[in-house]
């Protein structure tokens, strides 16, 4: 088995780089550990947005601009629900709805989130292994000036407007990492661990908040390389920079990684942030990190893997 690569991902930016990695690596060489802190129950359905964003992206089904949900979507269900006075702030397209209904059915039938995710990704012809960080519930919540909010209430219903005071990842301290997560991160033929350019507070931290995952990463033999989710202090998408300001962190690339710099061997920043200063022992690599085309995703994946290989060559 040629050397494996493990990526940590959540949300839109992470899925983009995961696609780039899947395309430059051999089939089945990539395992992605996915944030489940955004998951919630809505309209009686079990919804796992970061798992779905990755599955749709790797299956070529993702909406090209929106970043979540499916391409070529229709909205008959939503308009019928509107007519009935149902909750429509969280938009569920007709084809996307099938994923939530099928996941809810499988969970009710006793399948774990990881089992059903594995079956569904195979059904969609995805060779990359997709692992929820845990089959136990972890929920990202935010304390704001309007009180504590569940993640999707903050992110979608309130459009990230409330001022964030602190974040909590409920259940992370007792959640058991999926066993394959520990196996993948501990395996001897691991080539690299890639922390994808997802929102550090909302997508990466929840994964690292599971003690056993952070611990196994800290011991990891393979190079650990993160890609900055901000360019010139601005998040490519989403509320990263706003949350950083509200948490009184300067929204620079280095501040992003303060929370997990101790795990890193390499930090990849955009060329505009080439002057980024990182703690000793962390190599800063500057490259174009904005991914708009498929080629961008593949090129960044190659930059990441080459940097990891250089570290491994030095260490061995
Ligand atoms: N994000 C929105 O901003 N508005 C929506 O109506 C919305 C619906 C939605 C449905 C399914 C799904 O998997 C994701 C959805 N998202 C929506 C995105 C979601 O809130 C985020 O992708 C993650 O939770 C954060 O990355």
Give the C-alpha separation, 316 to 304, whole Å: 19
39 lines ligand 1 (CB under 6 A): no
CB 240 within 8 A of CB 246: no
What does DSSP say about strands 147-150 and 164-170: parallel, antiparallel, or unpaired? unpaired
For the chain, the distance separating the N- and C-terminal CA atoms, rounded to the nearest angstrom, is 20
Give the Cα separation of 27 and 129 in Å (integer): 10
Is there a domain that residue 263 lies in?
yes
The domain containing residue 303 runs over which residues?
4-141+172-315
**What distance in angstroms lies between residue 66's CA and the mean position of ligand 1's atoms?**
9
pLDDT in tens, 165-183: 999 999 999 999 999 999 9
Task: Give the chain's domain count.
Answer: 1
Residue with more model confidence, 249 or 93: 93
CA of 105 from ligand 1 middle (Å) equals 21
**Ligand 1 in reach of 14 Cβ (< 6 A):** no
Q: Is 270's C-beta closer than 6 angstroms to any atom of ligand 1?
A: no
pLDDT tens readout for residues 23-82: 999 999 999 999 999 999 999 999 999 999 999 999 999 999 898 999 999 999 999 999
Spacing of C-alpha 210 from chain mean position: 15
Mutate-to-test residue for ligand 1 from 90, 104, 159, highest number of ligand atoms within 8 A of CB: 90
Q: Is the CB of 53 under 6 A from ligand 1?
A: yes
66: domain CATH number is 3.40.50.10680
Q: pTM of the full predicted structure? A: 0.96
| 43 inside domain | yes
Give a yes or no: residue 148 inside a domain: no
- Asked if 32 contacts 129 with a C-beta cutoff of 8 angstroms, the reply is yes
Relative to the CA of 10, which ligand 1 atom is closest? 26
Q: Write out pLDDT tens, residues 244-272.
A: 889 887 767 777 777 888 999 999 999 98
Neighbours of 97 (CB within 10 A): 18
- Catalogue the E-assigned strands of 215-258: 224-227, 230-231, 234-235
pLDDT of residue 165: 95
Residue 154 covered by a domain: no
Residue 149 maps to a domain: no
- Determine, yes or no, domain membership for 184: yes
Query: Half-sphere exposure of residue 166, counting CA atoms within 13 Å on the CB side?
Result: 3
pLDDT digits (tens, 9 = 90+) for 133-158: 999 999 999 999 999 999 999 999 99
The alpha carbon of 244 and the centre of ligand 1 are apart by a number of angstroms equal to 21
Output the CA 73–ligand 1 centroid distance in Å: 14
For residue 238, what pLDDT is reported? 76
Atom of ligand 1 nearest to the CA of 159: 3
CA distances from 111 to 104, 114, 119 (A): 10, 8, 10
- For the chain, the helix, strand and coil percentages under 3-state DSSP, each to the nearest 5: 40, 20, 40
Query: Is the CB of residue 260 below 6 angstroms from any atom belonging to ligand 1?
Result: no
The answer as to whether 265 is a domain residue is: yes
Q: Is the CB of 273 under 6 A from ligand 1?
A: no
Per-residue pLDDT, 110: 98
Does a structural domain hold residue 163?
no
Query: pLDDT tens digits, residue range 218-246?
Result: 999 999 999 998 888 776 777 887 888 89
**pLDDT score at 251:** 67
Q: What residue's CA is closest to ligand 1, atom 2? A: 156
The reply to whether ligand 1 has any atom less than 6 angstroms from the CB of 206 is: no
Q: Whose CA is nearest to atom 26 of ligand 1?
A: 11
Does residue 152 have its Cβ closer than 6 Å to ligand 1?
Answer: yes
Instruction: Answer yes or no: is the C-beta of 254 below 6 A from any ligand 1 atom.
Output: no
| Cβ-contact 34, 129 below 8 angstroms | no
């Amino acid at each position: 088995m040629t050397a494996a690569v493990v990526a940590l991902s959540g949300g839109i930016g992470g899925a983009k780089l995961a696609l780039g990695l899947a395309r430059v690596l051999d089939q089945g060489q990539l395992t992605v550990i996915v944030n489940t802190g955004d998951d919630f129950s809505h309209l009686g359905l079990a919804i796992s947005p970061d798992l779905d964003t990755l599955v749709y992206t790797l299956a070529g089904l993702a909406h090209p601009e929106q970043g979540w949900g499916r391409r070529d979507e229709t909205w008959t269900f939503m308009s019928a629900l509107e007519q009935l006075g149902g909750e429509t702030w969280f938009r569920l397209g007709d084809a996307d709805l099938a994923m939530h209904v099928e996941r809810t059915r499988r969970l009710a039938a006793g399948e774990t989130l990881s089992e059903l995710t594995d079956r569904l990704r195979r059904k969609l012809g995805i060779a990359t292994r997709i692992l929820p960080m845990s089959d136990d519930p972890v929920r990202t919540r935010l304390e704001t000036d309007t009180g504590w909010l569940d993640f999707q209430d903050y992110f979608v219903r309130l459009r990230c407007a409330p001022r964030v005071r602190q974040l909590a990842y409920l259940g992370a301290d007792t959640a058991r990492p999926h066993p394959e997560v520990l196996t993948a991160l501990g395996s001897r033929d691991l080539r690299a661990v890639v922390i994808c350019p997802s929102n550090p507070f909302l997508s990466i931290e929840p994964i690292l908040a599971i003690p056993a995952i952070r611990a196994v990463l800290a011991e990891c033999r393979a190079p650990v390389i993160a890609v900055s989710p901000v360019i010139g202090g601005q998040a490519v998408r989403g509320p990263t920079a706003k949350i950083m300001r509200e948490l009184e962190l300067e929204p620079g690339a280095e501040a992003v990684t303060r929370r997990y710099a101790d795990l890193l061997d390499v930090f990849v920043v955009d060329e505009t942030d080439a002057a980024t200063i990182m703690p000793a022992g962390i190599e800063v690599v500057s490259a174009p990190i904005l991914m708009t085309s498929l080629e961008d995703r593949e090129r960044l994946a190659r930059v990441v893997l080459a940097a990891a290989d250089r570290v491994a060559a030095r260490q061995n």
